[in-house]
Structure 1
Amino acid sequence: MKKKDNILRNAIKDLKDWRFDRKVSEVFHDMAHRSIPGYKNISNTIGYFSKKFIQPKSNIYDLGCSIGEVTESILKYVLNKNCTIISVDHSKDMIKNFKKRLYKKIQKSNSIKIFQRDILKIDIKNASIIVLNFTLQFIHPFKKTYVIDKIYQGLNQNGILILSEKIKSQNPEENKLFSSAYKNFKLSNGYSRLEVIQKERMLKNSMFLESMEQHRSRLKQSGFCDFILWFQYLNFISLIAFKR
């Protein structure tokens, strides 16, 4: 049974920086679906894209896999496609819940490998598809370029990176409008104003948002040449970057 996210329901006197710990991992499914616009559709569509772009005998990487929703979607679409799905997350609690939630599917398939590891330290090779689904935004700005460079080098020719992010605009008025609309989105999904405010404060030093222009520039500098913005709702986006 999926647990409801109410971890910030009560006022917390000493707020800490946001962490993907046990409490968060236990309610992550509910949290993601109520906090990230289009999360279910994004996850499902990533699976569909995987079917379209998978290369025989290659690897698919789900970096920052959390509890495995994207991995599950990919598995559904590429089952029996002779590939390996490599799912990685730095949080031991996320990986624990990933394995618990998808235990039966993992047991039935020999195509999933799960690692609790820092994505900065993993080897990426023979990849036809790499997914960063709301992951890069939690990596320090000084390390983002290293991650994208590493991904580009590990991708096969004609491979793709699927990058989903919460972004910020270079236009202050647009930021203000989107921020207000996003708060309304969360309130409409049952969060209280206290919960919204407390989480916002906890994320202040843990989430590093960038503009679409910054993302495109970094991808281009790393070697990606073509981009498709396939999803946007307010300041939540997902794009495909191609290695030609």
Structure 2
Amino acid sequence: MTKKDSIFAEPLPQVSDFVFDHTVVEVFPDMINRSVPGYQSILQGIGQLTKRFAQSDSNLYDLGCSLGAATLAMRQNCQHLSGVQVIGIDNSEAMVERCKLHLQGYRSDVPVSVRCEDIQQSDIKSASVVTMNFTLQFVPPEQRYDLLKKIYDGLKPGGVMLLSEKFRSADEHMNELLVDIHHEFKRANGYSELEIAQKRAAIENVMRIDTLEAHHQRLHEIGFNHTQVWFQCYNFAALLAVK
């Protein structure tokens, strides 16, 4: 049974930077479903897009795989192909350990491996689908172009990148509105004002978000032929980039 996220429910003398440790692992499914609007729809879409774009004799990557929800969605939707393997990568040892246990609970002929490593140091090769599900926002902004360029270079022709991110609006008035609506979403899901404030303080130094315009521009500069937002709810969006 999923444990309820109450990490920030009590006043903390000092709010430390957010880390994906064992404490977060224990409550992560509850945390992300109560914090990210449309998360389950994004996972379903990742599965659907994987089924459409995955190629035989290729690798499918889930970069920043956490507990493997997107890894599993990809794996379940490429079983009609030959010579494919799914590779999940995360730099949190606690996440990787639990991810491996989750994936063992589902039968599939598609081989899957989960690695504990920094995605910026990972090799991306012969890929037809690469997913980054709320991962890029934790990479230092000045290092994002190089990481995405490496992914692009590792994609086969016709390969795709599935990028889900929290974003900020270029219009400051609309940005404040989207942030307020998101906070209302969290309140409706049972988070208190204290939890919202402390979580925001914990994450603001480790999660730097871009505008959607910045995402599109960077992807095009790298060489992707087509980019499109295929899902958006408030200030959360999922993009498709086709090589």
TM-score (norm 2): 0.97
SS at match of 1:105: coil
Q: How does 1:54-69 map to 2 (within 5 A)?
A: 54-69=54-69
Mark the runs of 5 or more structure 1 residues left unpaired by the alignment: none
Q: Distance in 1 between matches of 2:242 and 2:41?
A: 21
Q: Calculate percent identity across the aligned residue pairs.
A: 39
Q: Kindly report which structure 2 residues correspond to 1:26-45, keeping only aligned pairs within 5 A, or say none.
A: 26-45=26-45
CA distance in 2 between counterparts of 1:148 and 1:157 reads 16
Aligned-residue RMSD, C-alpha: 1.1
Q: Is 1:138 equivalent to 2:138 in the alignment? A: yes
Partner-residue secondary structure (3-state), 1:4: coil
Tell me which amino acid in the other structure corresponds to 1:98: C
Residue aligned with 1:8, SS: coil
Separation in structure 2 between the aligned mates of residue 3 and residue 173 of structure 1, nearest angstrom: 36
How far residue 229 of structure 1 moved from its aligned partner, in angstroms, is 1.1
The answer as to whether partners of 2:164 and 2:237 remain within 8 angstroms in 1 is yes
Letter in 1 for 2:90: D
Instruction: Note the C-alpha offset of 1:80.
Output: 4.4
Moved over 6 A (4+): none
CA contact (8 A) 1:8 1:195 kept: yes
1:123 and 2:123 matched: yes
Q: Give the total of aligned pairs.
A: 242
How far, CA to CA, are the matches of 1:80 and 1:8 in structure 2?
Answer: 43
Alignment of 1:198-217 (within 5 A): 198-217=198-217
- CA distance in 2 between counterparts of 1:192 and 1:31 reads 13
Separation (CA, whole Å) in 2 of partners of 1:60 and 1:113:
11
Deviation at 1:142, TM superposition (A): 1.0
* Superposition map of 1:161-240 within 5 A: 161-240=161-240
**Is this contact kept in 1: 2:79–2:110, CA < 8 A?**
no
The amino acid of 1:93's aligned partner reads A
> TM-score under structure 1 normalisation?
0.97
Structure 2 unaligned blocks of 5 or more:
none
CA contact (8 A) 1:61 1:130 kept: yes
SS of the equivalent of 1:102 reads helix
- The alpha carbon displacement at 1:109 in A equals 4.2
1:130-183 deviation per Cα after TM superposition (whole angstroms, max 9, x unaligned): 001100001000110111100100000010000100000111101110010000
Q: In the alignment, which residue of structure 2 is the partner of 1:148? A: 148
2:96 aligns with 95
| Cα distance in 2 between the residues matched to 1:66 and 1:84 | 18
**Contact 1:26-1:97 at 8 Å conserved across structures:** no
